[in-house]
Structure formats: structure tokens, C-alpha cells
Amino acid sequence: MEKIITVKQEPIDDAYPTPPSTTTTATSATSTTTTAQNVTAKTSTVATLPSGTTTTVTATAVTRAPETQIFFIQPKPEVQKTQCSVVSGAQGSSASTSTARTIITTSSQSKPPLVVISGSPIKLTPLSRAGAALAGGQTNSGTGNITCTLVHVQPFNAAAKQHIAPKAGGSPNKQSLPLQLQKLVPISVVTTSLAKIQSGTAPQFTIAGPLSNVRHIAPKVNIVSALPSGQAVQLTTPSLQVRNIVSAEKTAQGPQQLAPKPIQTQASSGAQQPRLIVPALPSSIPQITGTGATANLQFPHGVISGGVVYLPQQALASGGFPIAVPIQANALNAGAQGGMTVNGSSPESSPPNRPRKPCNCTKSQCLKLYCDCFANGEFCSNCNCVNCSNNMEHEKERSKAIKACLERNPQAFHPKIGKGRGDADRRHNKGCHCKRSGCLKNYCECYEAKILCTNLCKCTGCKNFEESPERKTLMHLADAAEVRVNQQNAARTKLESQIEDLPSRPTFLTNSGERLPFSFVTDEVVQATCQCLLAQASDAENEGKSQAMTEKMILEEFGRCLLQIIHTANGTKE
DNA sequence: GAGTTTGAAACT
DNA sequence: CAGTTTCAAACTC
């Protein structure tokens, strides 16, 4: 029997923009992997449930190593913080509207929960067994019981960031590493049974936990379900694109199983084996990094060890995650990339706000931080690089390279420029080391980022400070140039729009040798036009207009002249 | 477009 | 940690 479950989800963190509405529907005996555009949901929950039980699981953190935090799911009822309503219906019934950005993870009792983050699977350390997790002392035996896992990521506070700020002349202190990592904050999920769902009682999914300061990894994490007894879940949302189909078993074998698969828009209804449902990832996805030697998972940009996810500051500090974005909104249309974040992607897949420059790497295979694409956690695409391995096809090498970078420098993928509201907060986290450029050329990372050098910098002959006359001169010139460019662009745009409105006349002469309007730009006409422009300039000058305004007036006059010429020519022709 | 300069990253 | 090499981008011609 088909079961359709709609999960309604509500945002809980204002730090993320309110996501557009999506609806997630789960049905049995289908299997698809979906990805969504611009998913920035705050919570996730579990939608497909066996009969008859209510399960509550929560998690506690255990510090294992300075740079790691392990979370174990334990039964623990929690105060309700966020509710995710679940609505059931028969096959074909329309799912109720919702605001869900649903990432779902479930597993049967016989299988560990499977989670996919950033397109790669994580085999979590065994979470609570369903039986142990049951609320109210219910047993959770049989095929119908599911353990649900929900993971949130909590950013460290500003004080912590300060604490880990790079020290001048020193490498990052490993003792402070935990502060540089994002803390996983698993939260409990109360699930209700399918029976209740199917009865139309619209049971509530209760998500409890320290949500007030929690940012979610959940919507940025692909959590997959391995449903018991051949059940599978299909997730579809209006704004989601159905992508890969990956079985739970396959995915559990390793990240390579997540290589791009042909997009399937509709799952086969006859699928009987458990399937993985991989909802979409947003464009702002957490950077997943890791150094664990026992890592059993490799993310596009990191390694996951035993269900422990390493998240660098950059991910949350920036509010977006330029690193390790395997399935991103802008890549949804880039099937060849398997939904990975790509640099210089095709026009239809490129977000309008991030047209990165293509790299030109020749020797690094784009697997070292020399490569801007790699350093920014992006795949190369439409670049000019040679022997590029920064792509899905070389995911293994890429993961190794990521790991190597992180071993050299755990903050390797952190943003170099601190992000803050004020200019004071925007500073190079390591400082530059320029010697010859005076920190007034783009060689200098500070100057390139349009920020002043700070005491973190070890540059010599620095001229990139507030009172520097050289810098002021440069800034003044740059401002003037920018104004001019803007004016020129505006004038050009206007002129182009006017020209576009004109009838196309490709040739000057007809077959009979008749003169066409475009040939009416004679010397006399040019002279008259110039006189008009000069007159306009003179007027502007007499009126005391600024240079910018004068230029604008002249350009407008030129436009009028052109229109008149064309109009006259057309009239003559006609 | 080729060659040079530059400084970060990588290496020793 | 300092010095050196490698690398790719910025820059110059």
C-alpha cells in the first residue's frame, strides 16, 4: 500500500533566511534521491514510520579528542522546541502545503542509521537502538521500528572565535582546535507511527534539543533512510529535483557510490529494496572536513569519522558554505557534475552572485591550495586547468588532497578574511607577508580583499594602512575609475536599448542600389551632431554641473542626435 | 600573448 | 620554525 507522508517543517534559526516552501512526500515502494534548490531549512525530521510506536531519541556529546566530538544518541524525552507536522494521505492525494526542507533519516532496527552528508554517506556509530529509544517503555521490535536521527550544527560563539584567532608569528594552536570546529548538536526526534499517520490524525513530529543557538546541518545534510522490509521512501517537493537513486546498501559501502547517477524523475514503483533518499542540499552547505584517522567516510571536502562531522568555522561564520558543496542549487542542472558545486559552471547553472574566475592550474591537478577552485571548496568546471582532478571523477584523490591539506593546516579551508559587519572585523586572519608590493597590489591578499593590513601582517614596506598617502591616492583613482565605468556602462546600456528598438537594416543599399537610411550619416550630420554635443557640454558647464553630470548630459544628447538621425533617415527612405 | 614579478602554499 | 622551492595569479611589455 502506498503511503504518502508530508512533513511540515518550520524554520528555527533566524540566522538562515526563510526557505521557500517545499513539500516532502514519502511513499512506499519507491526510491529516488532528490535534491533541492536553495534549501535552507532549519529542521529535519523523520517521515516514514512503522506501525504502533512512538520513538524519542536524543543525543549527548562526548569529547573524545581535542578536535573531535562524538555524539551518541540516547533515549531522552526533551522539551518541545519545534514541531513538524506530518500529514498522511493515500497515493495520489495531494500533499498538504508545508514549509519543509526535509531531510530524513530512518533505519530499521536491523540496520544502523545511514546518513548522507554532502552527497557522501556516513555510517553513524550505532545510535540508539530503536527499542532503547522508545518512549513510554514501548518495545520497538519487528520490522516496523525506525530509529530517527537528527543532527544540527552549532556554531561557536564569538568569544571562541576570538580565542582561536591566529596568533602573530605562530601556527594555529592545536589545543584550541575544538573551538574551531563546529559542534554537532543532535536533537531528539519524536516520531509517531505510520498507523497514526495513515489514520489521518496528522501526528506531530517533535524535535527537541538546544535549538536556540543551533544552526542546522540537517537541511544541509543528506540523510537517507533505510526502511525495513523493502519499504522505501520517495521524497518529492515542488522545488526539488529528483536526482540519484542509491540503495542504502550501496551507499553504505563508501563515498564512491555517490558518483553521479543518471537523474531519474520518477522512481520505479516496483523497487523493493531499501533506497536512499537524498534531499537537496542548499547552496549554502556546511563545509565538511575531517582528519580522523579512523574515518570511514569521505566527504567531497573532508572526512567523517564514525558519525563525527568536522565543520570548520567558515561554514557557519559566513552563513554559507562555499566548501564541500556536492549537491548545490547551482549544480542541479549540471548533470555531469553530479550536482557538485562547480566553478565556472554553465550559464544556466551558475548562480548570479558567484561567477568565479576559472583557474589555470597546470601542475597542481587543482588539488592544492594554489588552486582557487579547490581552496574555495569548489569543483573545477569550465576552467583552463590541465590534468584537473578537482572533480567528481577524481573524488578519491580529491578527498586525499583535502585530508592532506587539513593535516597541514586544520584551518586550510577557512576563509582568509574574517567576516564581520564592520571593517574592523574584516581582516586577514593570517596576515599577509608581502615584501615588494607595498601591499598596494593585488598580490597582497589584504589589498585584494580591500582591507587594511593589520598587526597580524608581516609585510615589509607596507603602504596599506589608513593614513597612507599612496593608498589614498590609489583609492581615489579607483573610485574615479569606478564612477566612470559605471557611467559608461549606463550610457552604453541606454544606447543599446535605444538601438534595439530600431528596425534592423543590415545593408546600406538595396538590390536596386537604393540608398538606405544608415548611409545618411554624412560629414555634415557628424558635424551637426558634434555641435550639438559641444553645445550641451557648454550648457552643462555654464550651469555648473559636475563632471559626471556633464558627461551624462552629453551622452543623452548624443542619444537624441542618433535618434534624430535615424528617424530622419527612415523618413527619407519612406 | 609571452615573459616577469609576486607572495602563498608546499616542501625540506 | 626558518629557508627554499613550487605554483598560479597579477602584472608588464
Place of cell 524523475: A265
**Distance (Å) from CA A230 to C1' B6?**
61
Query: According to the model, what pLDDT value does residue A366 have?
Result: 95
Residues facing strand C, Cβ within 7 A: A 169-171, 357, 359-364, 366, 368, 370-372, 441-443, 448
Three-class DSSP labels, A232-294: CCCCCCCCEEECCCEEHHHHHHCHHHHCCCCCCCCCCCCCCCCEECCCCCCCCCCCCECCCCC
Cell reading at A450: 580591500
pLDDT of residue A503: 59
Whether any strand B atom is under 7 angstroms from the Cβ of A449: the reply reads no
- Within 13 A of A130's CA, how many CA atoms are on the CB side? 29
For A400-424, the pLDDT digits (tens) are 999 999 999 998 998 888 766 665 6
Burial category of A107 from C-beta neighbours within 10 Å (exposed 0-12, middle 13-18, buried 19 and up): buried
**What is the per-residue pLDDT across A426-456, written as a single tens digit (0 to 9) for each?**
788 889 999 999 999 999 999 999 999 999 9
Q: Which nucleotides of B are covered by protein (CB under 7 A)?
A: 5-11
- Ramachandran sector of residue A291 (left: φ over 0; alpha: ψ -120 to 50; beta: rest): alpha
**pTM across the whole model:** 0.40
Of the ranges A29-38, A138-147, A501-510, which is most confident?
Answer: A501-510
Enclosing H/E stretch for A123: strand A120-123
Q: What pLDDT does A32 receive? A: 29
Mean pLDDT of chain A: 52
Question: pLDDT band at residue A341, thresholds of 50, 70 and 90?
Answer: low
Q: What pLDDT does A387 receive?
A: 92
Summarised one tens digit per residue, pLDDT across range A89-110 is: 233 333 332 322 223 333 334 4
- Contact assessment for residue A329 and residue A280, using Cβ atoms and an 8 Å cutoff: yes
Q: Which nucleotide is nearest to A448 (CA to C1')?
A: C10
Cell of A272: 523493493
d(CA A383, CA A563) in angstroms, rounded, equals 42
Query: Distance from residue A529 (CA) to nucleotide C10 (C1'), in Å?
Result: 42
Query: A41 CA, C6 C1': separation in Å?
Result: 43
* pLDDT tens digits along A382-397: 899 999 999 999 999 9
Each residue's pLDDT tens digit, A141-174: 333 333 333 333 323 333 333 333 333 333 333 3
